[in-house]
């Protein structure tokens, strides 16, 4: 097992797919030029649009998605593994998927993941979100193979559901991914502790590219893209909400060491729940 350089691309996606492609491409090229072999973009890289009607007019089927097509070209040109944290993808039945893609250095799509947990919440500051009104939730947890290790795929709100990541770690994933568009309010309260907790309890790296700042559709996202080590330490952070990149070395041997020190996965036992 050899180490590699991972990068998070932090974006401020707008209502314009074309503008978002240009922003993402510039940052991806910066990351590759800095030595990144794996580059991850945030949730909803192709568009952030609160209006369902406007969203439906601007997104396409997977086969026609312009950002996905450009990402495939970039991965092949730059010779990198490019992880589209997620794109809004029109489905044939009229619904929408919040779908992540892992693209190989030949431009081929290696894995797809549809966000399982929908962010249906009413926050104390008056924000209200109902992702289930627009998006069809996924049903499968995905572990993908990189040349250096196995990688678990998830998106944003999934971070609050530890069972996904435990199942991925049990399947051998030494790196977990949680690209996000975390709200500013919940991010300030919980972003770092949730990312670190998922790393600690699974002895795995966590790589999470984020959206940041005030977006064209009015939402505010937290930023602070993170790469967490398997002992729970923050090894790289973009400590603001502006677009940019952050890189770190990922060494699969460190995950193995963490799991040997605290063998929580090996020690885990089934149990019965009694009472109500």
Which tens digit of pLDDT belongs to each residue from 11-59?
A: 999 999 999 999 999 999 999 999 999 999 999 999 999 888 999 999 9
Q: For 165, which DSSP code?
A: H
CA-to-CA distance for 237 and 76, rounded, in angstroms? Answer: 27
Closest CA to 121 of 90, 156, 77, 167: 156
Active-site residue 115, yes or no?
yes
CA-to-CA distance for 113 and 116, rounded, in angstroms? Answer: 9
Query: Which among 115, 150, 220, 254 is annotated as catalytic?
Result: 115
Query: Which among 8, 43, 150, 254 is annotated as catalytic?
Result: 43
Helix (H), strand (E), coil (C) string for 179-234? CECCEHHHHHHHHHHHHHHHHHHHCCEEEECEEEEECCCCCEEECCCEEECCCCCE
- Tell me the CATH number for domain 4-267: 3.60.110.10
User: Does residue 92 sit in helix, strand or coil?
Assistant: coil
Query: Which among 8, 49, 150, 156 is annotated as catalytic?
Result: 156
Domain ranges of the chain: 4-267
Query: Given strand 4-10, what is the order of strands in its sheet?
Result: 109-114, 96-103, 81-90, 38-40, 4-10, 244-250
Whether the model clears a pTM of 0.75, i.e. scores above it, the answer is yes
Pairing state between β 4-10 and 244-250: antiparallel
- 143 Cβ neighbours under 8 A, 6+ residues apart: 150, 151, 152, 153, 168, 171, 172, 173
pLDDT score, position 1:
62
List the chain pLDDT tens, one digit each, 276 residues: 699 999 999 999 999 999 999 999 999 999 999 999 999 999 999 999 988 899 999 999 999 999 999 999 999 999 999 999 999 999 988 899 999 999 999 999 999 999 999 776 787 877 776 787 789 999 999 999 999 999 999 999 999 999 999 999 999 999 999 999 999 999 999 999 999 999 999 999 999 999 999 999 889 999 999 999 999 999 999 999 999 999 999 999 999 999 999 999 999 999 999 997
pLDDT score, position 276:
75
Q: Are 236 and 192 in contact (CB under 8 A)?
A: no
């Amino acid at each position: 097992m050899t180490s590699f350089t991972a990068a998070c691309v932090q974006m401020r996606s707008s209502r314009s797919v074309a503008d978002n492609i240009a922003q993402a491409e510039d940052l991806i090229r910066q990351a590759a030029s800095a030595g990144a072999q794996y580059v991850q973009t945030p949730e909803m890289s192709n568009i952030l649009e609160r209006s369902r009607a406007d969203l439906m007019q601007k997104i396409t089927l997977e086969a026609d998605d312009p950002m996905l097509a450009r990402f495939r070209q970039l991965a092949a040109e730059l010779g990198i593994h490019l992880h589209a944290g997620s794109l809004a993808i029109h489905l044939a039945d009229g619904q929408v998927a919040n779908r992540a893609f892992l693209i190989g250095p030949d431009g081929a799509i290696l894995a797809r993941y549809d966000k399982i947990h929908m962010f249906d919440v009413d926050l104390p500051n008056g924000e209200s979100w109902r992702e289930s009104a627009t998006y069809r939730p996924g049903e499968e947890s995905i572990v993908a193979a990189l040349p250096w290790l196995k990688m678990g795929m998830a998106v944003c709100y999934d971070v609050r559901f530890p069972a996904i990541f435990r199942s991925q770690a049990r399947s051998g994933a030494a790196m977990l991914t949680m690209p996000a568009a975390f709200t500013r309010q919940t991010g300030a309260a919980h972003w770092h502790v949730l990312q670190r907790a998922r790393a600690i309890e699974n002895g795995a790296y966590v790589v999470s590219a984020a959206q940041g700042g005030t977006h064209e559709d009015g939402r505010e996202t937290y930023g602070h893209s993170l790469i967490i080590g398997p002992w729970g330490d923050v090894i790289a952070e973009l400590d603001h909400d502006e677009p940019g990149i952050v890189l770190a070395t990922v060494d699969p041997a460190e995950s193995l060491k963490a799991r040997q020190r605290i063998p929580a996965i090996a020690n885990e036992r089934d149990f019965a729940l009694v009472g109500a």
